Chains A and B, each alone.
Chain A
């Protein structure tokens, strides 16, 4: 049976201090973030306050980046043409606002 990835509930501090990224093999490798408490996260569900929304898309290709802060730290999220409903929601939202977000984890080296 194909198990759907669970949406992990996680606080910003735990997520942001995750030391490991694990990438599977094969045609469609699945990438996971391993948190210090041992969660193996691909899909996640977070809740916090949207403090900043930035439009970074090009003409005809909307893309939004936003900061979501919870009492332990900050998440950075982004939504573009492949996440139309999330992008639409961000376009209509005025910070500060409470938000729940479901999405895929991604590590970046910035």
Chain B
């Protein structure tokens, strides 16, 4: 670091130390700390002052930094900033309920998220300008975060000292669609719009048209919702910047509004057809994400579960009846339906699959009426489940649909299903080549 930049710090150290060190000695020590040991300036100052028995608290008054200079994992940071937003949240830490506050704060250089872990006596309002001493910084999702711990002191300043500050955002993370996860912050993706729908919603009392659909690249598909009209067209390739990711029952979804930047991309990109039949995925991979939209899975049916086969449904709410009784509507005259509930396992993981009448009829090569006939003949509904078991258990099945997750693991409402076609010889040869490559 240049000598002149050090000068204010040297003076500060000298003040804190009295005449214990000469200016030259301070410069030498400071250089050693900063250039050789790569300490941050505030850390270096504290270290020097502490070692020579000075008063550390005398230090921090002088050196206030701009937010853009703050690095992650600094134990002590001092700055003046404007509180841009405040929120409170109840959390449970170490079995105890407590309230924390969080939001954004900013100065003219940037804005950063902040969190106060101890809110007792803390009164921060949006628009306050505060001088903060003894906060610390962490990194969260690639971004510096300011934390107010138990050593912090916060003093309100004249709010006019810092003018309007926009919440600056860290640049969006460029990711492939397959990499999208909840909690990524802003992302930038490139993909082709496979489908597009619009619908009217009411947002804060105002009618608004939102657009939703599926966008895909070679690595996967993701559902999106656009909260303002970008004049999107189905089939085109776009780059979406500053979108956010939210999860719905484990499936990551992309959201963006007028703050996002959308550009049309004119470069070679896989066609709609190629992207539609995006390849088969391993269940472990989907499990790692907690879900997937329009995933294609292939495995072996290792169990046909109870509740499969011929069932009666409530005419009011379509719930499956248990012994002729609906959970909500009591004893009702049900109507018949067919379904399969099964466990599909591909050796990397397992997923519960549910298939409705149409798919059941297709896979079983039968119809509901035919099943009704068989059940009547046998005077027993269970024959249909037995047929399904016979036909599907331990057979390969390839399915496509949305995978969601809950406390019982992964499940898929299947949109398309067919018996898995396996070509043993080419697959075996491919495996052999792969194994030889490992050797």
Q: Which residues of A contact B (CB under 8 A)?
A: 1-9, 43, 45, 85, 100-102
Contacts and interface: CB of A to CB of B under 8 A. Distances in A.
In this complex, which of B287, B389, B394, B405 has the most chain A Cβ atoms within 10 angstroms of its Cβ?
B394
A40 to B, nearest CB: 14
Contact of B349 (A6, A100, A102): A6
A18 to B, nearest CB: 18
B345 interface: yes
A45 B407 contact: no
Contacts of A85: 389, 393
Interface string B237-277: 00000000000000000000000000000000000000000
A43 B345 CA distance: 11
Interface string B389-408: 10001100000000001111
Interface of B: 287, 290, 300, 302-303, 343, 345, 347-350, 389, 393-394, 405-409
Closest 8 CB pairs of A and B: A100-B394, A4-B350, A102-B302, A7-B345, A4-B409, A9-B347, A7-B302, A2-B409
B350 A1 contact: no
A42 to B, nearest CB: 12
Contacts of B406: 1
B347 A45 contact: yes
B66 to A, nearest CB: 43
Contacts of B349: 3-4, 6
A4 B287 CA distance: 11
A2 B408 contact: yes
B350 A6 contact: yes
Nearest to B394: A100
A2 B343 contact: no
Contact of B300 (A2, A5, A7): A7
15 contacts: A1-B290, A1-B405, A3-B349, A4-B343, A4-B349, A6-B348, A7-B302, A7-B347, A8-B347, A43-B302, A45-B347, A45-B394, A100-B394, A102-B302, A102-B394
Given A2-B408, A45-B345, A102-B394, 4 more contacts: A1-B409, A4-B343, A102-B302, A102-B345
A100 B300 contact: yes
Contacts, number: 45
A45 B287 CA distance: 20
Contacts of A102: 300, 302-303, 345, 394
A6 B345 contact: yes
B301 to A, nearest CB: 9
A36 B348 CA distance: 18
Nearest to B349: A6
A1 B352 CA distance: 14
A1 B302 contact: no
In this complex, which of B302, B348, B350, B405 has the most chain A Cβ atoms within 10 angstroms of its Cβ?
B302
Contacts of A5: 350
Given A85-B393, A102-B394, A2 B407 contact: yes
Nearest to B396: A100
Contacts of B389: 85
B396 to A, nearest CB: 10
Contacts of A100: 300, 394
Given A100-B300, A100-B394, A6 B407 contact: no
B405 A6 contact: no
Given A1-B407, A4-B409, A102-B394, A45 B350 contact: no
Contacts of A7: 300, 302, 345, 347, 350
Nearest to B250: A1
A6 B283 CA distance: 10
Given A6-B348, A7-B350, A85-B389, A45 B302 contact: yes
A42 B408 CA distance: 18
A70 B394 CA distance: 17
A63 B300 CA distance: 25
A4 B405 CA distance: 12
A8 B350 CA distance: 11
A57 B348 CA distance: 35
Nearest to B395: A100
Contacts of B350: 4-7
Contacts of B287: 3
Contact of A3 (B302, B394, B409): B409
A97 B270 CA distance: 46
A100 B343 CA distance: 15
Contacts of B393: 85
